[in-house]
Amino acid sequence: MLNKPPLCACGCGKKVEKSKRIKSRWNKYIKGHQCVSRILSKESREKISKSRSKYTGEKSPMWKGGRRITSSGYIEVLYPEHHRARGKYVLEHILVVEKKLGRRLEKNECTHHIDGNKTNNDPQNLQVLTISDHTKMHPKKRAGKYLKCPICKGSFYVKESHVNIRTTCSVKCAGVLFSKYYTQKPINHKISIEEKLEVIASVQ
């Protein structure tokens, strides 16, 4: 039989619970009290913060001149006071453009690198565009294809996984193309690939 529960080792004076792992033992601490004995005093915390402040900014062994390259390939400069700073850094091409224009960039404006080199922040290589115009200049590459509808003769986009499945641009055109096989009644005949190709060939 277990003895009376001992008191918590942190010094709070409360009784601890039984150990869930070893039933013949008591826990040393109450849950959440194990860190109490490790809490540093106010003086110790101040000493640590002062020692760390000696190695910030240019004094840091990891100092790289206040410039870094992001994962997207753009150059950032240490400028925490800037209105477009992300954390403590701001994109270098924004600083160059704003200095060139003599004003801040508007919310709907962005910078375009003319030669496509993200690290070339020469003023002559930077162009200010609206976000919509810049998006049109850099459209996302689509993996699918544009097909021609055999009914309305219009072109429509199909994603890569549906290139061999889609034949028409809409349900309406599909109903016209395969009216022989699809009626208002429940479908009792599944069109085969050979029949499907015959119908498309007859229209084309």
Q: How far apart are CA 201 and CA 159, in angstroms?
A: 23
Domains present along the chain, CATH in parentheses: 1-52 (no CATH), 67-137 (3.90.75.20), 145-203 (no CATH)
Q: How many residues does the chain have?
A: 204
pLDDT at 126: 93
Higher per-residue confidence, 82 vs 139: 82
The phi, psi pair for 48, rounded to 5°, reads -65, -45
| Whether 110 contacts 139, CB under 8 Å | no
SS3 content of the chain, % helix, strand, coil (to 5): 30, 15, 55
SS3 of residue 37 by DSSP: helix
Span 142-161, pLDDT tens digits: 778 888 888 888 888 888 88
Q: How far apart are CA 137 and CA 127, in angstroms?
A: 12
Confidence of residue 1 (pLDDT cuts 50, 70, 90): very low
